[in-house]
Amino acid sequence: MPINLLVPVAVGAVAIVLVMGLINMMRGGSPNTSQKLMRWRVGLQFVAIVAIVITIYVKANGG
């Protein structure tokens, strides 16, 4: 996967999981499901930040 595509995919995944969790909470869904989705969001945010840092590093070093 090209490095230019990794960041938007990671950020998009975070947004999708965030919206799914918010919809579940607004509809009065299972608190366990909301908690699981928010944990996934935190993990995906970590992946997105790592992808952003790697992209910046590669671009700064002529990649």
How many H helices and E strands in the chain?
Answer: 2, 0
Task: Tell me what percent of the residues of the chain surpass a pLDDT of 70.
Answer: 95
Residue 10 three-state SS: helix
For residue 2, is pLDDT > 80? no
If one compares 46 and 5, the residue with the highest pLDDT of the two is 46
Q: Please give the pLDDT value at position 63.
A: 65
pTM of the model: 0.83
Q: Which of 11, 4, 2 is nearest to 48 (CA)?
A: 11
pLDDT class of 1 with cuts at 50, 70, 90: low
